[in-house]
Chains A and B, each alone.
Chain A
Amino acid sequence: MDQNVPLIEIRNLVKHFGSVIALSGVSLTVHRGEVMCLLGDNGAGKSTLIKTLAGVHRPTSGDFLVEGKPVTFASPRDALDAGIATVYQDLAMIPLMSVTRNFFMGREPVKGIWPFRRVDFDHCDEVTREEMHKIGIDVRDPHQAVGTLSGGERQCVAIARAVYFGAKVLILDEPTSALGVAQTSMVLKYIHQVRSKGLGVIFITHNVRHAYAVGDRFTVLNRGKTLGTYSKSEIQIEELQNLMAGGKELQAVSAELGGMV
């Protein structure tokens, strides 16, 4: 496969919900081994965009290509099969279930013949333990409930799961927004690791600092449109912040508050 063909390319994507125009022409590309940060304030259309990419919504018009081929997804399952995995902020893990059961949820490997077909839990435990070890999470026992893990660890387990099951593109929906400093750096470090494996990452965030820490390119959304895409060398963190918040007004507020926003 040609390395220069983007993993995901969307051109002029439009999505209407009845009379509401949620996306009015969004373009974006994601390449192998790249973290594309999607920035935008509330209501900019970030959620609609990722849900469209994840197969939840179908675009009203525009092109959607995966590895150069046009696609239309009927369900999240189709997107998953095409190698696009989405990790939602809160909706990734089930706290009462064990790490192993969560890790393999929906894709349990089975052994034996029907009616004695059962999940190969030995293999599952083995894999879970190894994958957790690789990302440096101290899972004493893969049977412990996910509820015992910290928020950052849960997010990492969800990402590790997507990677293990062969995702080519990871869409991370605000993975750091509910986390503390140490846990955020843990997730960011892991995003960095995932990129070095050659996956494409779409990292959605409100936080310009988090984006700037791991991002290669930045796409800013505002009112359903792309304001522009910039590579890291082209733009400074302050400019990015201004773009995202719609410029002037924020600067004024920032000056009022002593430049701390």
Chain B
Amino acid sequence: MANTTQPATDLSPAQTVQQIRDERLKEVSLLTKIMRRPELGALAGLVLVTIFFISTADASMFTLAGIMNILSPAAQLGILAIAAALLMIGGEFDLSIGSMVAFTGLVFGAFITLSGWPLLLAIAATFAVAAVLGGLNGQMVIRTRLPSFIVTLAFLFILRGLSLVGLKWATGGSTQMRGIGEQAGEGLIRELFSGVAFEGVFSWLAANGLIAKFPNGTPTVTGVPVSIVWFAGFALLATWLLLRTRAGNWIFAAGGDPNAARNSGVPVDRVKTGLFMLTACAAALVAVLTVLDAGSTDARRGFQKEFEAIIAAVIGGCLLTGGYGSAIGAFFGAIIFGMVSIGLTYTRFDSDWFQVFLGAMLLLAVLFNNFIRRKVTGER
């Protein structure tokens, strides 16, 4: 393998290697190291937005209850954004995520109310349906070599339409399906996907006067909504996957240059198909979480979430051309989103400024990311 005889031109013994190595490591300044992180922009953005709201918004925004208010929508978007980020790093888009939320919501609701399946089975089946649809998306993109943008745009409409038609068919004319919450029943599985977590910790904190509580002793915030726990867990898992595993390296490679990756033995098509399936499953997770939370599902669920997820991923440092980005960046991007959408109601500003802010943020992020990328890669 590697250590064939050292060529004659190489005069340095192993010790010199050691020495030189240490010297060189120090030359990489901390600044360069920080600049090299794709999520830098999102983190900086989050700090800026936080400062903005601290100085303009009502103080109640940054109480425990206020933070949970911000994080709840951020979590739903974030789960989608992290999956979208992985897919974008892998060099593809999925515009059908939002419609996928609505469609898998309907599928899940139908399994519960029409088929009367137990919750666990219904959830597993919903994920299976999502995975098949995601795989179909992926295979279409790979086989036809069409841009994923156009293939998934078609699915955006197909799935949205199917959700509408399916809802009307299942409910006899309504675009809303009710009674899912009651049918789903209670139990451990239900608690994994709805309600709040860490209630014990929160009541203990309240009992010890560390967080706000009502006069009767129950804390004002009874726990962390499970969607936030899923969001944080998924962000950690995705980051680990991307930065520490083989699959992660293959995702970067597939998005960076599929030909070079194939030449080096990376199974590019399998990686991409897997990412499409993951994105669809993330949509299914959001569907299950929100449907169980609301107890019902409707055709507008997940509306325009595909754009928001892509925007959060871009704010998080993903390049539109693929091969570069971060999952934790998308995590921050989604929190920025939640903070701005909820935060404006705490200020004197009209909350319709949200969309203006969103567009401006996207533009800034793209410009900033381009600049950083050139700096880091020495591209000219």
A and B part of one assembly: yes
Q: Determine if B265 and A96 form an interchain contact, defined as CB atoms under 8 angstroms apart.
A: no
Q: List the B side residues contacting A196 at CB < 8 Å.
A: 7-8
Q: List the A side residues contacting B373 at CB < 8 Å.
A: 96
* Neighbour of A166 across the interface among B1, B24, B259, B261, CB < 8 A: B1
Report which residue of A92, A95, A106, A145 has the largest number of chain B beta carbons within 10 angstroms of its beta carbon. Answer: A106
Q: Determine if A121 and B244 form an interchain contact, defined as CB atoms under 8 angstroms apart.
A: yes
Give the number of chain B interface residues (Cβ < 8 Å).
45
One digit per residue, 1 when the CB lies within 8 angstroms of any chain B CB and 0 when it does not, for chain A 185-227 equals 0000100010011100000000000000000000000000000
Q: List the A side residues contacting B30 at CB < 8 Å.
A: none
* Neighbour of A106 across the interface among B17, B265, B378, CB < 8 A: B265
* Neighbour of A76 across the interface among B17, B244, B250, B263, CB < 8 A: B263
* Neighbour of A143 across the interface among B10, B21, B36, B377, CB < 8 A: B36
* Neighbour of B28 across the interface among A133, A141, A193, CB < 8 A: A141
Q: Determine if B266 and A105 form an interchain contact, defined as CB atoms under 8 angstroms apart.
A: yes
**A94-B252, A105-B253, A119-B244 known; A140 and B261 CB under 8 Å?**
no
Answer whether residue B216 sits at the interface, using C-beta atoms and an 8 A cutoff: no
**A96-B324, A106-B265 known; A147 and B249 CB under 8 Å?**
no
One digit per residue, 1 when the CB lies within 8 angstroms of any chain A CB and 0 when it does not, for chain B 119-150 equals 00000000000000000000000000000000
Report which residue of A94, A133, A147, A197 has the largest number of chain B beta carbons within 10 angstroms of its beta carbon. Answer: A94
Q: List the B side residues contacting A129 at CB < 8 Å.
A: 17, 21
Report which residue of B17, B20, B260, B378 has the largest number of chain A beta carbons within 10 angstroms of its beta carbon. Answer: B260
Q: List the B side residues contacting A127 at CB < 8 Å.
A: 2
**A80-B265, A145-B377 known; A108 and B4 CB under 8 Å?**
no
Q: Determine if A107 and B265 form an interchain contact, defined as CB atoms under 8 angstroms apart.
A: yes
Answer whether residue A31 sits at the interface, using C-beta atoms and an 8 A cutoff: no
**A91-B260, A94-B260, A193-B9 known; A77 and B265 CB under 8 Å?**
yes
Chain A interface residue number, banded: 35 or more
Q: Determine if A131 and B2 form an interchain contact, defined as CB atoms under 8 angstroms apart.
A: yes
Q: Report the bound CA distance from A132 to B7 in whole Å.
A: 13
Answer whether residue B25 sits at the interface, using C-beta atoms and an 8 A cutoff: yes
Q: Determine if B378 and A148 form an interchain contact, defined as CB atoms under 8 angstroms apart.
A: yes
Q: Determine if A140 and B28 form an interchain contact, defined as CB atoms under 8 angstroms apart.
A: yes
Answer whether residue A172 sits at the interface, using C-beta atoms and an 8 A cutoff: no
Which A residues are closer than 8 A to B by beta carbons? 76-77, 80, 86, 88, 91-97, 101, 104-108, 110, 117-119, 121, 127, 129-131, 133-134, 136, 139-141, 143-145, 147-148, 163-166, 189, 193, 196-198
A–B pairs, 10, beta carbons within 8 Å: A80-B265, A94-B252, A95-B377, A96-B319, A96-B323, A105-B253, A118-B240, A141-B28, A165-B1, A196-B8
